[in-house]
Structure 1
Amino acid sequence: MLKKVIIALLLVIALPFIIALFISDSYHVERHVVIEQPVEPVFSYIKHLKNQGNYSTWEQMDPNMKKTYTGEDGTVGFISTWHSDNPEVGAGEQEIIKIDENKRIDFELRFMEPFQSTDPAYMTTERVSQGTKVTWGFHGKMDYPINFMLFIMDFEQALGDDLQVGLNNLKEVLEGQKN
């Protein structure tokens, strides 16, 4: 009987490690919103990382987070660093790594707490009949065996919801500037 219990216990412990072997170690999240403004002022606003405090879900989770900046905002090489005691916000930095004016801005997110990871993110703008379509995207990677979390949690939904709230906030901010 004891032998069967030990074998069952070992199987329960090993199962997540076995499942993780067959699960993707990466994910991609993307959301968009249409803002009733021309592309140029929308892009000009989103390329400045300091403006994220006005719309980013994560920045709004902790208004007391410590932030520092290096370089000239809105240009390649600008770095925004944050540190929060809120574990949902954590600590890290975001660097602008590429700008295709009025089309796309690419960031590198370097998370330090509560986990360490370096992931690419981006925002794009596209002229549409109603104004400007803004897309916010994020690529993530979870090494084995942590990638098992992708099996039990819907990261696409959780992160996607946060991106969508941020985009909705951005729409409110930028459309409020029309008045």
Structure 2
Amino acid sequence: MIAPKTYDVSRSISISKPIGDVFEYVRSLKKQDEWGPWAKKDPDMVKEFTGTDGEVGAVSSWKGNKDVGEGEQEITGIKENEVVETQLRFLKPFKSESDAYIRVKDEGNGSTKVTWGFSGNNKFPVSIMMLFMNMDKSVGKDFEQGLSDLKDILEK
């Protein structure tokens, strides 16, 4: 049995809102708690924000229960009305890093396609855990729920 060395998970949804409105909303780390699935998994999670939200260098850090663990997310790149790139740094229950992104694309007629994804390398000992876990299924479900909630919020 060989453990997967990398992972790449993404999901997309179409939102009936202009690209500028969608991008302004998704670039905010603070607003991710309104639609991201992890805040619901631990309503008592402790959050801290540093830097200017929605700008390169902004950091959201969290400490939560066993379902969300501990870590931080930093905005590493922004292309206006195209993509917000972040680095996820997980500290607990195990250390790992992933590159994440939220990409938006104008679909015309006032609709925007939003793609949320992340990728990384499975280093030891995480690679051993990946023998027993399907990253695409487990995280993909969370991405689908988050994007569905994002759509509900933005289309109100």
TM-score range, shorter chain: over 0.9
More helix by share: 1
For residue 82 of structure 1, the aligned residue among 49, 52, 62 is 62
1:129 is displaced (CA, Å) by: 3.4
TM-score (structure 1 length as normaliser): 0.83
Aligned mates of 2:129, 2:94 — CA distance in 1: 13
Say if 2:134 is the partner of 1:154: yes
Superposition CA RMSD, Å: 1.2
Aligned mates of 1:76, 1:70 — CA distance in 2: 11
3-state SS, counterpart of residue 49 of structure 2: strand
Aligned mates of 1:67, 1:94 — CA distance in 2: 11
% identical equivalent positions: 40
More strand by share: 2
Letter in 2 for 1:107: T
Structure 1: stretches of 5+ with no match in the other structure: 1-18
Letter in 1 for 2:104: T
Say if 2:11 is the partner of 1:31: yes
Say if 2:35 is the partner of 1:55: yes
1:145 is displaced (CA, Å) by: 5.0
Q: Deviations over 1:87-116 (max 9, x none)?
A: 110111100000000000000001111111
Count of matched residue pairs? 155
1:148 is displaced (CA, Å) by: 3.2
Q: Which has the larger radius of gyration?
A: 1
Aligned mates of 1:64, 1:140 — CA distance in 2: 28
3-state SS, counterpart of residue 152 of structure 1: coil
For residue 67 of structure 1, the aligned residue among 16, 39, 47 is 47
Aligned mates of 1:140, 1:61 — CA distance in 2: 23
Q: Deviations over 1:37-62 (max 9, x none)?
A: 00000000000100011000012211
Structure 2: stretches of 5+ with no match in the other structure: none
Query: What does 1:27-176 correspond to in 2, within 5 Å?
Result: 27-84=7-64, 86-129=65-108, 131-144=111-124, 146-176=126-156
Aligned mates of 1:46, 1:144 — CA distance in 2: 33
* 8 A Cα contact 1:25 1:144, kept in partner: no
* 8 A Cα contact 2:42 2:67, kept in partner: no
Letter in 2 for 1:154: N
From the superposition, tell whether residues 144 and 68 of structure 1 become closer, same or farther in structure 2 (CA, over 3 Å).
closer
Letter in 2 for 1:104: V
